[in-house]
Amino acid sequence: SHCQNKIGVFGIGSIIEEIILAINQSSIKFSSYAITKIDKNIAEKLLPIIKSYEKIITIEAHYINGGIGSIIAEIIATITANY
């Protein structure tokens, strides 16, 4: 669920589970999303979710280019360009 928390954590790969466990041990309130597949419609799917957060954190392992961080950065750039 994403309405009550101000931080959205998006991740891809096995590392997301480790990070979520670590964050759960802290007092940080967040909502997490494990991305299992990057397809051509991912921006459309993520746009309304991303808009509902004040802060976004991306987590991934071994994806320098074209990973979830790059995709979310492009979505956020589109959102800010349209304001």
Taking 70 as the threshold, does the pLDDT of residue 1 lie above it?
no
pLDDT at 65: 67
| pLDDT band of 16, cuts 50, 70, 90 | confident
Which pLDDT tens digit goes with each residue over 21-38? 888 888 888 888 988 888
- As a whole number, the mean pLDDT across the chain is 84
pLDDT at 3 over 60: no
Specify the pLDDT at position 64: 66
For residue 51, what are the CA distances in angstroms to 7, 22, 23, 79?
11, 25, 22, 8
Please state the separation of Cα 51 from the chain's center in Å. Answer: 11
